[in-house]
Homo-oligomer: A and B are copies of this chain.
Amino acid sequence: MFRLALDAMGGDYAPLQIVRGGLQALKEFPNLFVYFVGRKEEVLPLLGKEAEPYRDRFEVVDAPDVVGMQEAPSRVLKKKNSSLFVAAKLVREGAADALVSAGNTGAVLTVGKFVIGAIEELERPSIGVAFPNPRGKTVLLDVGANVDVKPRHLVQFAVIGHTYAEEILGIKNPRVGILSIGEEEGKGNELVKETYPLLKETKLNFLGNAEGRDIFAGTFDVIVCDGFVGNVVLKASEALGFAVINMIKEEVKKSFWAKVGAFFMRKAFRALKQKADFAEYGGIPLLGAKAPVIITHGRANAKAIRNAVRAAMEFYDHHFNEVLKNNLKNLAGEVLAKTRAGNSNNS
């Protein structure tokens, strides 16, 4: 049985869409147990009759507080009766195997880092996003969990990304790169120049510097960067994806024939919009946390929640953390030992 802690109050359409998504998952996945965490008086009626057949596979855990979508993320650590905090605590205490939340991204990150925590072998968990490319997906990490990082963190991110690509995306021996400007070794900022030789020493399939364009080109399977750059790229890309779609709409309005054309292309546009919504499918995983944490878009609907539950199960079924621990040791153990925090070179 896979036991999920679901933050029923987080998200723009909470609790209705979250509860519906959990219910949908219960119907589809017979090995799933769901803790619906939130205001009991709001959650219970939403479950209603439809939930009765699954009565032995869920529990409503009362949590009177809610972390607002616009609240300062750190506030969650003081709101110990919030649905998000209580859900994270269920995971930390071993009652639940994973956490799914559509709440305030920063707050979910905060409980992931400080309530659930990273596995011992890592200093920090990392957020990865799988961007679409013509042939498949490219994982970019970190995209916002870690802002100022040292070279050894980027090495850790590389192993995390490798593990994600291999286990979850099914890419064998993933091609790993470091985000930089210019292709040749020696190009980039200080952080990149210091990290490059370390990555070369690992047993990862390290191809060297990746440029911004490589994120969408299919030339790399995993690209590592600090969370500042990664977050800027993620947000710029999301915005640009939607901006392009809006520009098409604007252009279409200008001509009758273009309107006719757009009518015939509506299916194609829908497919495109989905692809541009990078976090749509299954949410964004916080990788390297002690248990799977899936952060979905604030505007997640029932289907998105169902997908996020599915994603969390996948991490669990693949024994993601066990594999990650082995990979950290086998692929980068020596490099990481050498660069451990506190060592003189401080890399």
Spell out A's residues near B (CB within 8 Å).
72, 106, 132-134, 144, 147-148, 179-182, 184, 188-190, 211-217, 225-229, 231-241, 243-248, 250-252, 254-255, 257-258, 260-265, 267-269, 271-272, 275-276
- Nearest CB of B to A329, in Å: 30
Chain A interface helix/strand/loop/mixed: helix
Bound: A133/B239 CA distance, A: 10
Q: Please, how many angstroms separate the alpha-carbon atoms of A262 and B251 in the complex?
A: 13
B267 touches A255 (CB 8 A): yes
Are A189 and B148 closer than 8 Å at their CB atoms? Answer: yes
Q: Are A232 and B235 in contact (CB under 8 A)?
A: no
Alpha-carbon separation in the docked complex, A70 to B148 (Å): 33
Taking a contact as CB atoms under 8 Å apart, the answer to whether B236 and A181 are in contact is: no
Cross-chain contact A134 with B232 (CB below 8 angstroms): no
Given contacts A248-B272, A268-B248, A268-B252, contact A236 B216 (CB under 8 A): yes
Complex contact A240–B254 (CB within 8 A): no
Q: Closest Cβ of chain B: how far from A131's Cβ, in Å?
A: 9
- 4 additional contacts (CB under 8 A) given A132-B247, A251-B272, A261-B265: A106-B182, A233-B236, A240-B241, A251-B268
* Cβ of A298 to closest chain B Cβ, rounded Å: 14
Smallest beta-carbon distance A6→chain B, Å: 26
Q: Are the CB atoms of A232 and B268 closer together than 8 Å? A: no
- Can you list 9 pairs linking A and B with CB atoms under 8 Å apart? A148-B189, A180-B228, A188-B228, A211-B232, A215-B240, A216-B239, A251-B271, A261-B268, A262-B264
What residues on B are CB-neighbors of A265 within 8 Å?
248, 251-252, 257-258, 261-262, 265
**A147, A228, A239 pick with most chain B CB within 10 angstroms:** A228
Contact A181 B244 (CB under 8 A): no
The answer to whether A244 and B241 have CB atoms under 8 Å apart is yes
- Which of A133, A241, A243, A276 has the most chain B CB atoms inside 10 A of its CB? A243
Q: Is A233 a contact of B212 with CB atoms below 8 Å? A: yes
- Nearest chain B CB to A241 CB, angstrom units: 6
- CB A25 to nearest CB in B, in angstroms, measures 30
Question: Shortest CB–CB separation between residue A234 and chain B, in angstroms?
Answer: 7
Cα distance A182–B134 when bound, in Å?
Answer: 31
Q: In the complex, are the beta carbons of B264 and A247 less than 8 A apart?
A: no
Residue pair B228, A229 in contact (C-beta under 8 Å): yes
Closest Cβ of chain B to A60, distance in Å, is: 33
| Contacting residue for A239 out of B148, B182, B213, B271, CB 8 A | B213
Known: A262-B261, A264-B260. A236 touches B213 (CB 8 A): yes
Which residues of chain B are near A246, meaning CB under 8 Å? 134
Contact of A233 among B189, B232, B252 (CB under 8 A): B232
Cβ-closest chain B residue relative to A106: B182
Contacts of A106 in B (CB 8 A): 182
A275 touches B247 (CB 8 A): yes
| Across-interface contacts of A268 in B (CB, < 8 A) | 248, 251-252, 254-255, 258, 261
Residues of B within 8 A of A244 (CB): 241, 244-245, 272, 276
